[in-house]
């Protein structure tokens, strides 16, 4: 295995409506900042570029190709795309480096989710015969999961509110956050039900924006002379698309990915968990086997701002930048995709 370093990460402000800005205009600033922070002049200075986005959000097939306009890809570059969160674009770039076909890569993810009804759009990723015709939106499906946990007694509504209190509080230190502030458990539990048993604050907001990251071999990172975090383990697993066949109260695929990535092989100082719903953060903490010594979602997590198709990459960026800043020695980042945490990636990052 070649050790791969994360050397820069840039994220746009997470906003509920980016207004007239199009995707290219969202991508350009973060790509330019990620390259500049890495000490690189242009996309021509990396060996490979990979992006994550979803054509369903733009409403046109091959819409992701327009994202390349943000790069300045003349002369032509080696480029790829995943119809997934950009955490999986990072995985493709990591593989490219493992194969010796690249020593450095630019990864970016973007989405302007606000023009559509995102929870309904997400129902189109479900089984096309048994589920999608019923339009089960992402919030309703997460609510089924929360109800299963509440009924089983493995969480309480207070536990869920605690996650939101911590998210909003931590997000006060995150300049890009969409939702931040001081709230109490009592205030949250006094809020009406949204899609019962979920209250509105149990659900991540809809956010527009983009993120970009530069990764490279450790040798190249040293040559560039910047602080960096090293990817020591990375793995992703998926579960059945049949929700009924899964135990929704736990995340088997996260447990498998955590074991393969080596989460338990050292102390976990910080963790960033891609939990779009409050109860899912609790599932993930348990699946990763995190102790009380781990500081979770110091950024506020995706309950404070959820850039579709970049939120998973953002978790990796948040952990990497804190390691670069010397705030942590070893951390875990998690990315998810699909309904009710169907697919999960776990990344272990360490200081050199």
List residues binding other proteins (CB under 8 A): 117, 119-120, 123, 129-131, 133-137, 140-141, 143-145, 147-148, 151, 193-198, 239-240, 242-246, 248
Stated as kind and residue range, the H or E segment containing 79 is strand 79-82
- Which residues, in sequence order, are CB contacts of 79 under 8 Å at separation 6+? 48, 49, 50, 51, 68, 71, 73
Helix axes 157-171 and 278-288, enclosed angle (nearest 10): 90
Residue 124 beta carbon to other proteins: minimum distance, rounded to whole angstroms = 10
Q: How far apart are CA 108 and CA 35, in angstroms?
A: 11
Q: Decide whether 141 or 310 has the Cβ nearer to other proteins.
A: 141
Residue 229 beta carbon to other proteins: minimum distance, rounded to whole angstroms = 36
Q: Decide whether 102 or 149 has the Cβ nearer to other proteins.
A: 149
Asked if 335 and 313 touch (Cβ cutoff 8 Å), the reply is yes
Residue 91 beta carbon to other proteins: minimum distance, rounded to whole angstroms = 23
- Which residues, in sequence order, are CB contacts of 169 under 8 Å at separation 6+? 180, 181, 182, 183
Q: Decide whether 59 or 72 has the Cβ nearer to other proteins.
A: 59
Residue 282 beta carbon to other proteins: minimum distance, rounded to whole angstroms = 17
Asked if 11 and 317 touch (Cβ cutoff 8 Å), the reply is yes
Q: Decide whether 119 or 305 has the Cβ nearer to other proteins.
A: 119
Residue 105's φ and ψ, nearest 5 degrees, are -155, 150
- Please list the residues that pair with 6 across neighbouring strands: 215, 229
- Please list the residues that pair with 211 across neighbouring strands: 11, 109
Q: Decide whether 141 or 213 has the Cβ nearer to other proteins.
A: 141
Q: Which residue has the tokens 């998690």?
A: 334
Q: How far apart are CA 319 and CA 270, in angstroms?
A: 7
Asked if 203 and 139 touch (Cβ cutoff 8 Å), the reply is yes
Q: Decide whether 136 or 312 has the Cβ nearer to other proteins.
A: 136
Residue 189 beta carbon to other proteins: minimum distance, rounded to whole angstroms = 17
Q: How far apart are CA 337 and CA 352, in angstroms?
A: 30
Q: Decide whether 131 or 258 has the Cβ nearer to other proteins.
A: 131
Q: Decide whether 8 or 254 has the Cβ nearer to other proteins.
A: 254
Residue 126 beta carbon to other proteins: minimum distance, rounded to whole angstroms = 9
Q: How far apart are CA 347 and CA 88, in angstroms?
A: 11
Residue 152 beta carbon to other proteins: minimum distance, rounded to whole angstroms = 10
Residue 348 beta carbon to other proteins: minimum distance, rounded to whole angstroms = 27
Q: Decide whether 75 or 153 has the Cβ nearer to other proteins.
A: 153
Q: How far apart are CA 247 and CA 50, in angstroms?
A: 33
Residue 117 beta carbon to other proteins: minimum distance, rounded to whole angstroms = 6
Tokens of 350: 């360490």
């Amino acid at each position: 295995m070649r050790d791969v370093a994360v050397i820069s990460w840039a994220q746009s402000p997470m906003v509920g409506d980016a207004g007239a800005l199009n995707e290219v205009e969202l991508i350009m600033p973060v790509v330019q900042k990620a390259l500049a922070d890495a000490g690189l002049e242009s996309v021509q200075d990396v060996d490979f570029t990979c992006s994550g986005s979803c054509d369903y959000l733009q409403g046109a097939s091959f819409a992701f190709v327009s994202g390349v306009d943000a790069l300045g890809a003349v002369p032509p570059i080696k480029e790829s795309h995943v119809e997934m969160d950009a955490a999986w674009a990072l995985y493709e770039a990591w593989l490219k480096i493992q194969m010796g076909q690249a020593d450095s890569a630019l990864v970016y993810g973007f989405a302007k989710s606000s023009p559509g009804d995102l929870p309904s759009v997400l129902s189109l990723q479900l089984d096309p015969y048994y589920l999608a015709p019923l339009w089960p939106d992402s919030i309703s499906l997460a609510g089924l999961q929360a109800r299963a946990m509440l009924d089983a007694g493995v969480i309480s509504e207070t536990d869920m509110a605690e996650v939101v209190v911590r998210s909003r509080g931590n997000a006060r230190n995150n300049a890009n956050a969409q939702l931040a502030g001081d709230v109490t458990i009592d205030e949250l539990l006094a809020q009406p039900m949204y899609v019962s048993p979920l209250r509105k604050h149990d659900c991540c907001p809809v956010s527009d924006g983009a993120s970009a990251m530069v990764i490279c071999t450790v040798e190249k990172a040293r040559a560039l002379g910047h602080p960096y975090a090293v990817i020591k383990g990375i793995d992703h697993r998926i579960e059945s698309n049949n929700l009924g066949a899964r135990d929704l109260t736990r995340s088997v695929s996260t447990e498998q990915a955590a074991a393969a990535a080596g989460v338990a092989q050292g102390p976990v100082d910080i963790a960033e968990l891609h939990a779009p719903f409050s109860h899912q953060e609790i599932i993930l903490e348990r699946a990763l086997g995190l102790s009380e010594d781990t500081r979770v979602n110091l950024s506020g997590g995706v309950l404070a701002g959820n850039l579709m198709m970049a939120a998973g990459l953002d978790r990796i960026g948040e952990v990497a930048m804190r390691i670069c800043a010397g705030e942590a020695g070893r951390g875990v980042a998690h990315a998810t995709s699909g309904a009710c945490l169907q697919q999960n990636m776990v990344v272990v990052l360490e200081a050199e």
